[in-house]
Structure 1
Amino acid sequence: MSFGIIATWRMALEGVEKAAKMLKDGSSAGDALENAIMAVEDYPFYKSVGYGGLPNENGEVELDAAFMDGDTLSIGAVGGIRDFKNPISIARHLSRERFNIFLVGIGAEEYAHKNGFERKNMLTERAKKIWDKRIREIREQNLSPYDGHDTVGMVCLDKNSSMAAGTSTSGLFMKKRGRVGDSPLSGSGFYVDSQIGGAVATGLGEDIMKGCLSYETVKLIERGLSPQEAAEKSVYELTQKLLQRRGKSGEISVVCMDNKGRWGVGTNVEFSFVVSCEDDNVPKVYLANPHGSKTLYSQASQQWLEEYLKRITSPIV
């Protein structure tokens, strides 16, 4: 039986590498996905997820995460949670509850504490320096405060044909306290059904949630479109609708995988993603770009990969 995992952004690579080994050895989609996202959350140089995530306008790191089991359609999510490590694990724990499956702020923190999750100050010195720098730029150059909204999202298929989806993010940089984007919202930031497939989104949450992008992508797969066709159609049609109705559209990207391990990507901006499948389970990073109503992609070069690592680890001045 096929297995595979697809994820948003280059930052998912190390986590996908770990998940691919787990899937090959027979691990469940849920376990592989949780471990993969935890790897992203724990790496301090990924500034839009977990430890090292960029803070809100008050200098606080508020995290959002969600988990969905494609067999049972069980969902767990947290929004605006502070000072707890690995929100994806808290979200997965919530998915096992019958009621109260989406908790925010103090309620999410109380739940995490009562269930023994690790407390941790998620604001790194590096993230604080980036925050201070942006404050100066806003004051001195009259720049917009908002920058950075790269959610890590993954869809996973295991050897038993079970699927899972998950997301984790620190959200929009310099956001208002309490702001929650699409990432933990079922149907917008994520959706998975083991009988069909799954999808996860990244980009400007305020626009993605206007189209329930992930659910729409999965429904298009159910109607017979290939994952690639579904991803392109959902992103392109939402982008066009926003342009027609509002005159502008934010960055919108989606990756998806069906229950046979076939995958697709749609985007209206340059975008990187990671894939590992049974046929070639060495994870690969791809770069995608919009081309009319289509999305074109190619494998990232070694030079691009090296420049990426240099960029994210360079000193903040």
Structure 2
Amino acid sequence: MKWVMIATWRMAIEGITEAAEDLKNDGYSGEAVEKAIKIVEDFPYYKSVGYGGLPNENCQVELDAAYMDGDTLSIGAIGGITDFKNPISIAKKLSKERFNCFLVGAGADEYAKKEGFHRINMLTDRAKRYYEKRKRKTVDKGLSPYDGHDTVGIISVDKAGKMVVGTSTSGLFMKKKGRVGDSPISGSGFYVDSEVGGATATGLGEDLMKGCISYEIVRLMKDGLQPQEAADKAVSELNEKLIKRRGKSGDISIVALNNKGEWGVSTNIEGFSFSVVSEDEKPMVYVCNKIKHGKTTYDVASEQWLEAYLNRIKSPITFD
């Protein structure tokens, strides 16, 4: 069986590169996905995930995460957890529970404390500074502050054919306290079935949830569509439905992988990036063009693009 990992965004490349070494050596998808996402969560310059994630309207970091086992269909998820490192590991632990596998807020905090997960203030000085800058430019001027909703989602198939998906995010920047988006919601932010394949989403959770898009893609793959066909069909249909019914559509980006190791991607925005590594392909970042005429196109990220990305995320936060 061919092993593969695919992830949303450039921010996942270091994580899947390291986790790929385990898959090469007959490692298990569950451990690989957890390891890769933890690397993203621990990097303070990624402002939409984990440590360094951007806070809610009260300047508090609330984190969401989910984990799903494609063999057993077991799911673990948390929403609105505060001050605990590596929410993906908490979600993975919850996936072992028969009941109470999705916990939110104070309940998620209590569970993580009881199970001995590492407690830490997840609000970095950099994230706080960014919050203050955005607040001055938006909230204080009566403008919408919502920005930055880039979930890391990773799907893996290992040599044994086992598939796993995981997600992690700090959610919508300056969101209302207690807001939870699509990322920890089964069928919306993620779904995987080892007999078919998996999908994971990133974008505006409030719109992604309206289409249960990750489950829809897996359903389409079960009906015989290739991952690229399934992703494009689901994104096109949801995007068009939202525009028709509501007048507009938020950001919708998807990566998909079937149990044969074939993958696909689709997006309704310009510049969505994704990361892939496999038995046949070295770790690679791609950048997408917005879906057009029902098809998404993408290219390998250039050295200039990659350099500009690092410069951008690490640039000093200054006040005008």
TM-score w.r.t. length of structure 2:
0.98
SS of structure 1 residue aligned to 2:120:
coil
Mapping of 1:147-226 within 5 angstroms? Answer: 147-226=147-226
Q: Return closer, same or farther for 1:183/1:74 CA change in 2, 3 Å cut-off.
A: same
Contact 2:139 2:145 in 1 (8 A): no
Which whole-Å deviations, capped at 9, do the CAs of 1:117-158 have from their partners, x for residues lacking one? 000100000000000001111255443110010000010000
- Matches of 2:111 and 2:211, distance apart in 1: 31
**Cα deviation, residue 26, structure 1:** 1.1
- Matches of 2:183 and 2:285, distance apart in 1: 22
Matched, 1:294 2:290: no
Partner of 1:277: 278
Letter in 1 for 2:245: R
Matched, 1:32 2:32: yes
Partner of 1:57: 57
SS of structure 2 residue aligned to 1:228:
helix
- Matches of 2:184 and 2:277, distance apart in 1: 24
Partner of 1:2: 2
Which whole-Å deviations, capped at 9, do the CAs of 1:35-55 have from their partners, x for residues lacking one? 000000000000000000000
- Matches of 1:229 and 1:117, distance apart in 2: 40
- Matches of 1:260 and 1:69, distance apart in 2: 17
Mapping of 1:84-163 within 5 angstroms? Answer: 84-139=84-139, 141-163=141-163
Superposition CA RMSD, Å: 0.7
- Matches of 1:24 and 1:150, distance apart in 2: 28
SS of structure 2 residue aligned to 1:90:
helix
- Matches of 2:258 and 2:139, distance apart in 1: 47
Letter in 2 for 1:303: Q
- Matches of 2:313 and 2:55, distance apart in 1: 17
SS of structure 2 residue aligned to 1:184:
coil
- Matches of 1:114 and 1:140, distance apart in 2: 40
- Matches of 2:293 and 2:49, distance apart in 1: 30
Q: Return closer, same or farther for 1:59/1:221 CA change in 2, 3 Å cut-off.
A: same
- Matches of 1:209 and 1:137, distance apart in 2: 29
**Cα deviation, residue 291, structure 1:** 1.8
- Matches of 1:211 and 1:249, distance apart in 2: 12
Letter in 2 for 1:172: L
Which whole-Å deviations, capped at 9, do the CAs of 1:55-97 have from their partners, x for residues lacking one? 0000000000000000000000000000000000000000000
- Matches of 1:27 and 1:120, distance apart in 2: 30
SS of structure 2 residue aligned to 1:155:
strand
- Matches of 2:261 and 2:110, distance apart in 1: 38
Which whole-Å deviations, capped at 9, do the CAs of 1:248-294 have from their partners, x for residues lacking one? 000001101000100000110020000111111x1100001122311
- Matches of 2:313 and 2:235, distance apart in 1: 28
Contact 2:22 2:32 in 1 (8 A): yes
Detail structure 1 runs of 4+ shifted over 2 Å in the superposition: 139-143
Letter in 2 for 1:161: G
Aligned length: 316
- Matches of 2:221 and 2:187, distance apart in 1: 14
- Matches of 1:21 and 1:142, distance apart in 2: 49
- Matches of 2:158 and 2:82, distance apart in 1: 32
Partner of 2:19: 19
TM-score w.r.t. length of structure 1:
0.99
Letter in 2 for 1:291: K
Partner of 1:259: 259
Letter in 2 for 1:198: G
Letter in 2 for 1:40: V
- Matches of 2:280 and 2:135, distance apart in 1: 48
